[in-house]
Amino acid sequence: IYEETEGKGRYKKLTYVEIDKYSRQIIMPEIGMKGQGTLKNSSVLVVGAGGLGCPSALYLTGAGVGRIGIVDYDKVKLNNLHRQLLHSETSTGQPKVFSAAESLKRLNSFVDVTPYEIQIDSSNALDIIKQYDVVIDATDNVATRYLLNDACILASRPLVSGSALQLEGQLTVYNYNNGPCYRCLFPVPPPPETVTNCGDGGVLGAVPGVIGVLQALETMKILLGHHGVLTKSMLLFDGSDCSFRKVRVRDRNKSCAVCGSEPSITALIDYEQFCGSKANDKPASIHLLDDMDRISARNYQAIRSEPHLLIDVRSPLEFEICHLPESLNLPLKDLASGEVVQHLKAVITEKCPGGNDFPVFVVCRRGNDSQRGVMALRESLSGLHVSVRDIIGGLHSWAEDVDPSFPVY
């Protein structure tokens, strides 16, 4: 059902079924028929169909926002399901955007859901964002945060930004009601090595659930023109004691590179280059060692029965999750410890009394810390005749190339 509105084109009116469907919020004075009609004729872009994007999109769909776009390049994995509740075991391996769209359409057939199976970047962000009223940042990397911020400034769209890690979460709204943008608060990106995502640091599923639902709430307040939108302040959530704290953030920076009075950024840039990190949540591989100082998981399997020492440099907590039975757990941070070095020397001497280039292999989760471990061990074991190499790709490669039944995380 449409109604012509002067200067605004076609306005979709609520059907009787929709009135019944949304009646519990329509009877609120803050919503009413006018507010519900506004939601029906509004649009939201959710960037990320993961731990934050799933609850955001779910509650926006349930509330009757008329058009929702979902952007994600990834596929559903089993380790997503404890927090990404639009997906299920049967959708493992499917593109997240199609899995999410299917779930949302089952929830509310009145909502138009558009999936974008792409990685959003400088070449497509503006064209997509201009089609929506509000953008939700439900991503997990710094480069995309800067991209979405700058694109929303250039397109004059509010940005509802959330993050969650372990037991903590944050929420704020950028570029709304003369409030600051992300660059106003963080003009320079953090060093890549200081950034942790949920794939490395972990997250309790309910935490992004809390933040994602609040992102949906702030988005609806913006669409409805309500007061109290979380701009010029940031909400901090600590799940360990269920505490919420709202802190004021600095005002809009007049010299900001993108939203200031004389901006130097007037078009989208290369954000991976700007941040020195990838615009996705995939783990980056480092290359510290020469090829001769490394061994593949398959080749390690071939010499596994020969005398050697395998050192697992992960934390004891990770070692408890899974490990190769012959491995010795010596966390990376402890390799320089005098006590650990003495213990290691004693183990090597016992295994190889002759001490002629005794093979020592180092393993970790993905093959990054193992390289750091090789470098540390070469220094601490310099007085011994040992050959120290790492296993390329770590335990992930072991599971992929040698033992598919080996648990990965």
Predicted local confidence at residue 357, as pLDDT = 83
Contact 381, 335 (CB under 8 A): no
pLDDT digits (tens, 9 = 90+) for 172-192: 999 999 999 999 999 999 998
Yes or no: say if 199 and 281 are a contact pair by the CB < 8 Å rule. Answer: yes
Q: Distance between CA 83 and CA 92 in Å, rounded?
A: 14
> Domain 291-401 in CATH: superfamily?
Rhodanese-like domain (3.40.250.10)
Identified catalytic residue from 54, 152, 198, 256: 198
Residue type, 102: E
- Note if 242 is an active site residue: no
DSSP 75: B
Catalytic site residue from 152, 181, 259, 364:
364
**Residues near 148 by Cβ (< 8 Å), separated by ≥ 6?**
47, 120, 125, 129, 135, 137, 139, 159, 161
More confident residue, 266 or 194: 266
pTM of the predicted model as reported, rounded to 2 decimal places: 0.87
Q: By three-state DSSP, how is residue 29 classified?
A: coil
Right CATH for 42-275 from 2.130.10.10, 3.40.50.280, 3.40.50.720, 3.30.230.80:
3.40.50.720
Known active-site residue 181: no
Rounded to whole angstroms, the Cα distance separating 100 from 115 reads: 8
Residue found under tokens 């962000």: 125
Structure confidence by residue, pLDDT tens digits, 225-264 = 999 999 999 999 999 999 999 999 999 999 999 999 999 9
- Segment 102-149, tens digit of pLDDT: 999 999 999 999 999 999 999 999 999 999 999 999 998 999 999 999
pLDDT at residue number 3: 57
pLDDT of residue 8: 54
Do residues 159 and 175 make contact, with C-beta atoms less than 8 angstroms apart?
Answer: yes
